[in-house]
Amino acid sequence: MSVLEPVVELVRGLGQTFRYLFDRPVTYQYPEQKREVRPRFRGRHVLKRYDNGLEKCIGCSLCAAACPADAIFVEASENTDEKRFSPGERYASTYEINMLRCIYCGFCEDACPTEAIVLGDNYELSFTDRRSAIYPKEMLLEPVPTVDMTTPRKVETGVYKRSVPEMKDPTD
């Protein structure tokens, strides 16, 4: 080991530093500047709607059953054609996710038979107390495209009889 060796190492190290001085910076000026998320990013949940504005969620509670952190609470009620939330007989009258408990694993997405719950790209979750970490259905639901599509709404009798959407023959 020569005496020069530490000097070489020092120069090499400083060289690295020097090189980064001219590199493009990777730092984002969050929150002014936000980073694009990946397509399969799992962020805050969104409850989706059909194109006609009806809620996709049918209150089946399978997401709650699949949830390893027990973060989801669902309570169902019955739809009527006078006051319809979702197609079919059943809708979620209460839907809550405790964001402090959620581990963003996406099992709820997998369990959902109507593709109603989707993990979105919002990761900006902060709360000042535990209670506000519980997101009720109103916060989770996707906004309606137009005002006349809000739920609950009155619909023609006998049109939305089935909960689980008509799907293609799975063998096709």
Contacts 24+ apart (CB under 8 A), 91-95: 91/55, 91/57, 91/58, 91/59, 92/55, 92/57, 92/58, 92/59, 92/137, 93/59, 94/136, 94/137, 95/47, 95/57, 95/59, 95/136, 95/137, 95/140
Instruction: Rule CB under 8 A: choose which of 90, 117, 140, 160 binds another protein.
Output: 90
Instruction: Rule CB under 8 A: choose which of 9, 13, 14, 94 binds another protein.
Output: 94
Q: How far is the CB of 131 from another protein (least distance, A)?
A: 12
- Which range in 7-15, 28-36, 58-66, 141-149 contacts another protein by CB under 8 A? 58-66
Instruction: Rule CB under 8 A: choose which of 58, 71, 72, 117 binds another protein.
Output: 58
CB-facing half-sphere around the CA of 130: CA atoms within 13 A: 2
- Structure tokens belonging to residue 3: 């005496």
Instruction: Rule CB under 8 A: choose which of 42, 45, 48, 59 binds another protein.
Output: 59
Instruction: Rule CB under 8 A: choose which of 50, 73, 104, 107 binds another protein.
Output: 73
Q: Give the contacts of 79 (CB within 8 A, at least 6 positions apart).
A: 85, 86, 88, 89, 90, 91, 160
Residue 68 in contact with another protein, rule: CB under 8 A: no
Q: How far is the CB of 102 from another protein (least distance, A)?
A: 18
Number of residues lying near another protein (CB under 8 A): 28
Residue 154 in contact with another protein, rule: CB under 8 A: no
Task: Return the DSSP state at 26.
Answer: -
Binding region for another protein (CB under 8 A): 58-62, 64-65, 73, 75-78, 88-90, 93-94, 96, 113-114, 161-164, 168-171
